[in-house]
Chain A
Amino acid sequence: MIKVENLSKTFGPKVAVNDVSFTVERGEILGFLGPNGAGKSTTMRMITGYIPPTAGVVKVGGNDVTEKPIEAKRLMGYLPESAPLYTDMTVEGFLGFCAEVRGIKGADKAKAIDRAIDMCFLKAVRHQSVDTLSKGFRHRTGFAQAIIHDPDILVMDEPTDGLDPNQKHEVRSLIRRMGQSKAIIFSTHILEEVEAACTRAIIIDQGKIVANGTPEELKAKSELANSYVASINGTEASAVRDGLGTVIQSAKVTIVTDKAPIVVARVFPKKAGADGELGQAIFDVAAQNNWKVNEIKKEEGRLDDVFRNITLSDNQVQ
């Protein structure tokens, strides 16, 4: 439903978005992940037709956003960064305005407002003026505005920014629920959000896509992925290291902590794929040496690890 092809944007000498391509289909929730200044907002602004691309094409439901902006915008709901709202209106008045601009009138308009207010838990502030709302309600009003016309496509720039943990949880479950029937793209710099809500994630850094896959695929890129952590009681660290060094599938052993009597060691696999055997081999070695094993655990990989590794490498040079 969203097709982004070789999209670039430069501001003067600054390249904010650099040759970005991806697609989002119905039923997908794409998390757009990246450090501050990576180009997330700029990309979303080009998708929603707020700023024109320097190069490349955005197609929304088959409509080129540059050539058929009105048709493309009709299909989309958009929550801009920091959820701007008209402060001189009530919540209901504001949602009514957004519905009318989108051509929803009369009884349909009343229904659309009720539905959005229900979905975003805004009943309590329905008749309240926007400028007196707390941050959480402001954000949800922005959210309600984006879904007022029940769009097929939803674009949200940091939808959980500034919310408390409960509100974050609410918004994530809202996104997950709507993701079943829509194409959703949302940006964040919170990693747990990606695991909690996305079917797929793109990591963008300095305007470039540096990773694209399901949260599981991304986690597998972590160098810790598929390694094993063994916690052993009452054995010297050096003995543990030497013992685990004899595990055939092991490429490397590191001691994570050495607080007598407990030693925690990490065993990395030789090759990423062959995992099941590594755990078995570690058990065998432990049994041969009569170690007291507290725990042997497989590491899935950590997203924050992947994220840091990918996005730090270039930044630190500057």
Chain B
Amino acid sequence: MNPILTITKRELGGFFNSPVAYVFLVIFLLMTGAFTFFIGQFFDRAQANLQPFFMWHPWLYLFLVPAVGMRLWSEERRLGTLELLLTMPISPWQSITGKFIASWGFLILALSLTFPIWWTVNDLGSPDNGAIFTGYIGSALMAGGYLAITSMTSALTRNQVISFILSVVICLSLVLCGWPPVTDPLAAYFPNWIVEGVAAFSVMPHFDRLQQGVIDSRDLIYFISLIGFPLFATSVIIRSLRS
């Protein structure tokens, strides 16, 4: 078997062997449901789209994704198994990728378990299923980006809590720098190009466009770099730990 898959399998096994995974799935589904129906007022809007569902994802993921990813490397460091893993005949890249795939796969599983909401909206009207599909893609990519950031912060410390807090802070700034309630007041003080330049780093505009069914290569490139760059940083941190 490919060593990446072996790593992935081990991570998933460890996850599902403990109650954490199931607790997480329940919390995730309850929270998406609560936000969509009560705060997002899904039914009152009487619109056949999933905007009140997706709009909460950047915020929900802010806590749920770091909770899933915080142990990725910090636990290896705490247990000392990093030494075991890195003296196996596999490259650090294979370990990083294998671990990332396992956690991302789990997040995607959680996301796909929200399918009843897609049924509901199709039952109530005739939504743009293309836009819903790209919305799901965008949500999965955003979760991947947050997760890659968490992978990076968890390589920084052997303490899971610190890794959790660091990744929440980084992900929060990626949300806020493109969130209109923050950017609009700033537009009064700074030239437009600065505000928009900073906002381009945010997940918000990219995720918005995917929700609307717009597939722009720039958004895809954004999300791919949001995953790729922190994973690369993870490998740099791990290399520096060893020297």
Minimum Cβ distance to chain A for residue B110 (Å): 20
- A39 at interface (Cβ–Cβ under 8 A)? no
Report whether A98 and B88 are in contact in the complex, using a CB–CB cutoff of 8 Å: yes
- Chain B interface secondary structure, helix, strand, loop or mixed? helix
Q: Is A50 a contact partner of B89 (Cβ separation < 8 A)?
A: no
List 16 interface pairs A-B (beta carbons < 8 Å), by A numbering: A49-B86, A50-B86, A51-B243, A76-B87, A78-B84, A80-B84, A84-B84, A85-B79, A85-B81, A88-B14, A89-B13, A93-B13, A100-B1, A101-B88, A102-B89, A145-B84
Q: Is the CB of B14 within 8 A of A80?
A: no
Q: What mask results when residues 80 to 123 of chain A are scored 1 for a CB within 8 Å of chain B, else 0?
A: 10101111110001000110111101000000000000000000
**Docked-complex contact B87 and A78, CB < 8 angstroms:** yes
B98 closest partner in A (C-beta): A101
Residues of A whose CB lies within 8 Å of any CB of B are 45, 48-52, 69-71, 73-74, 76, 78, 80, 82, 84-89, 93, 97-98, 100-103, 105, 145
Q: Which of A48, A52, A84, A85 has the most CB of B within 10 A?
A: A84
Using A100-B1, A101-B7 as known contacts, say yes or no to A84 and B79 having CB atoms under 8 A apart.
yes
Q: A50-B242, A86-B14 are in contact. Are A70 and B90 (CB under 8 A)?
A: yes
With a cutoff of 8 Å between Cβ atoms, the chain A residues found around residue B87 in the complex are 48-50, 73, 76, 78, 80
Chain B residues bordering chain A, tally (CB within 8 A): 23
Interface residues of B (CB under 8 A from A): 1, 3, 6-7, 9-10, 13-14, 17-18, 79-81, 83-84, 86-91, 242-243
Chain B nearest Cβ from A124, distance in angstroms: 21
Q: A50-B83, A51-B243, A105-B1 are in contact. Are A86 and B10 (CB under 8 A)?
A: yes
Cβ–Cβ contact A101 & B3, under 8 A: yes
Which residues on the A side are within 8 Å of B243 (C-beta)? 51-52
Docked complex Cα distance between A85 and B83 (Å) = 10
B79 touches A101 (CB 8 A): no
- In the complex the two chains form, is A86's CB within 8 Å of B81's CB? yes
Which chain A residue shows the least CB distance to B3? A101
Residues of A within 8 A of B1 (CB): 100, 105
